[in-house]
Structure 1
């Protein structure tokens, strides 16, 4: 018998969380805060954090401080600003079968609601809420992709998970959680992802509106507002995706982590050229052109000459060229200087993206690409088709997650603050209410 999602949200207890789930939540906490730190330096984040207090002032629901900012606003405003901040650097955790991301909406939303709450929320309770939000978000996303023709952003289905977990945080009963999910799904942003990929801009993956939609839905439901049943949770067409709720964990099965701050569809090609340049002892001036066979959606990530961080995020050619020229794709490759690097631009213009039907067919639970380097002396070096590092079956190690966190956070926060955030995030579920509040404070102090 399938466990209803509302019962899952009301009844889940920390002792029932498998160690594997807690491991993912801890890794995601560390990883997400590193992304938030560098995200706070972007123009996108600056605009969102300026606007949030203008339109979402604090009220009787309490106040919350925006991530990496320190200023107080309503929990809805803090959720919006925080989600946009994290999403401004495309380096946060993701879920390949849903073609999107959950942590970028879940963490800012639940941190904001926890700050505003009059409850004393300790680490174990916060772990329960994160697990509820992740699991419901992932399953709602799987249903949506299986039943809707259009490719909607992550904001569409994270609004459902945030709403359910947010209502649970507020002490809602089973029926109120159902209503919250229904409100969140109905009002969540059904934004079309390929519009932003074809025309990169600051709207990104929709979580900047999915997170506050879910938070708003939770508060509305607790006041008696009703919502149409969430089809992603209760519709008959999607029931197969809920059958093992509470025993199976899509959070463990599917959560991946990014090695590079750009769309994951570029990552198999980045891994490939990194290894090919190293193993063949090549330098960028030996590269005549690059051929990348990949799936259809990925070929729309052109980006041969990105002018902004938004262009860079949704490109393959330029990050691949940066890897060929510099041997890395990190924060330094997001700068204006890098975007105008003549060596990178030369290689980037030479990249050919080839729409491959077989790659499209197999790129469901994984993302595939095959790279060929054509050298100036006429030689062709071909790599085998591959999927990116960071998937559940090819995970980044905890040490690699830590290294990535510090590479992103240390220049922005300073080593001492970054160390404390990492130490507390890595055991957040063991923290007292006071220590968890300290972690939230570290994550919301200005940069």
Structure 2
């Protein structure tokens, strides 16, 4: 029988967590911290850190360290700076059914709470918190997308999941958990995702305000502030019918091989496969045609001028793959935006809004790519969805390679290996071991 979300959150124990869920949470911990490492070097992360230190001083809630920086602020300030940091590089875990991301809000918020805790935190404790935050976020996200005409960012629904988990961390009762979720939902940023697609800026996916909104909601509920019900948790029962029995976190979490919007990934994969299958090099390519779903065509981005525009583009990342055979750390450098060969291929790319792919891109993302060569040949890929989804999962080695690609240049190989080891088995750590993992996640390189 399904449980009310507040009863589920209040009563969840580590032994209730299935092994496939724990495997997913371990993967997400490692994957998120790899993304956070390279993201911590961006201008966006620096701005968020300075903002948090200016606005969110240490108070009665205790002290938290800013992710991969170590500056001391309130838990809410650390959650804000950390979420903006992770979101600065679009390579963190994702959920296609919700068209968004949970980990980029959940990890910074819960790491901040763990750091501020007055009692020792174990890996088992943290696994419970993560399970609540992810599961409530995903279901609230599905409910919101089904009941709201506008397409809101991930911050709009992760605020509810973070609030629920934070309420449990703070020891609130079921009534207070309901109020925390309601406050988090009401005050969560109902920011317009397609605005940031059409006009890319550092606003990104809204988690930079979703994470601190969720934490603020829990602290307010603890003091007696009311806000129940959270409509997405209590008035859309079809999305909660198997709650506490099945785990959307296991079914819906996927991982990204490339640091750009998920909607571009099937086209990148298709282009890479065509180049390899037919022995092509960039100089062979005269033109590219991408047939995909409507929202993906709005990524456009033939000549991005900033990392934000790069992240929310499709033509330029596909051109990167064609020219360089990868989209890694080097491709995140400003000089890449002026690479003449990448720009040539990008400007020769035509995006086609395909009604069929729009119709079937529900819970998945579809595209096909055609490459035209300088000698008149033409190669078309079969329709495909992205690698990293549950039906095309990344292997453990691929997750590890991505982590070290992003993390080693920032943290150094020794620290990166320790972070990968501990995050990959975080739920087995005692309080001392988890304290060491917190240090690795929160102190400056």
Question: If the length of structure 2 is used for normalisation, what is the TM-score?
Answer: 0.99
In the aligned structure 1, how far is the partner of 2:438 from the partner of 2:395? 25
**CA-CA distance at 1:398 after TM superposition:** 1.1
Matching residue of 2:268: 270
Matching residue of 2:51: 51
8 A contact 1:117–1:170 mirrored in 2: no
**CA-CA distance at 1:380 after TM superposition:** 1.1
Which residues of structure 1 form unaligned runs of 5+? none
8 A contact 1:291–1:354 mirrored in 2: yes
Matching residue of 2:351: 353
1:364-375 mapped onto 2 (5 Å cutoff) = 364-375=362-373
8 A contact 2:91–2:258 mirrored in 1: yes
Q: Deviations over 1:421-443 (max 9, x none)?
A: 11100110010112111101111
Q: Deviations over 1:2-45 (max 9, x none)?
A: 31000110011110100000000000000000000000111000
Matching residue of 2:25: 25
Which residues of structure 2 form unaligned runs of 5+? none
8 A contact 1:290–1:372 mirrored in 2: yes
In the aligned structure 1, how far is the partner of 2:234 from the partner of 2:335? 50
Are residue 398 (structure 1) and residue 396 (structure 2) matched? yes
Matching residue of 2:258: 260
**CA-CA distance at 1:334 after TM superposition:** 1.2
Q: Deviations over 1:270-303 (max 9, x none)?
A: 1111111011000111111100000000000011
Matching residue of 1:335: 333
Matching residue of 1:156: 156
Matching residue of 1:417: 415
Matching residue of 2:284: 286
8 A contact 1:269–1:369 mirrored in 2: yes
Q: Deviations over 1:307-366 (max 9, x none)?
A: 110000000000000100011111111111211100000000011110000000000111
8 A contact 2:2–2:244 mirrored in 1: no
In the aligned structure 2, how far is the partner of 1:267 from the partner of 1:146? 24
**In structure 2, the residue corresponding to 1:98 is in which secondary structure?**
coil
**CA-CA distance at 1:93 after TM superposition:** 0.1
Q: Deviations over 1:247-276 (max 9, x none)?
A: 100000000000000000000011111111
Question: If the length of structure 1 is used for normalisation, what is the TM-score?
Answer: 0.99
In the aligned structure 2, how far is the partner of 1:173 from the partner of 1:402? 39
8 A contact 1:180–1:220 mirrored in 2: yes
Matching residue of 1:181: 181
Matching residue of 1:385: 383
8 A contact 1:138–1:250 mirrored in 2: yes
Aligned CA RMSD, in angstroms, stands at 0.7
8 A contact 2:2–2:245 mirrored in 1: no
In the aligned structure 2, how far is the partner of 1:142 from the partner of 1:405? 29
Matching residue of 2:205: 205
In the aligned structure 1, how far is the partner of 2:17 from the partner of 2:267? 36
In the aligned structure 1, how far is the partner of 2:28 from the partner of 2:396? 11
In the aligned structure 2, how far is the partner of 1:175 from the partner of 1:440? 31
Matching residue of 1:249: 247
Matching residue of 1:167: 167
**In structure 1, the residue corresponding to 2:322 is in which secondary structure?**
helix
Are residue 143 (structure 1) and residue 143 (structure 2) matched? yes
In the aligned structure 2, how far is the partner of 1:247 from the partner of 1:47? 42
The aligned length equals: 445
**In structure 2, the residue corresponding to 1:100 is in which secondary structure?**
coil
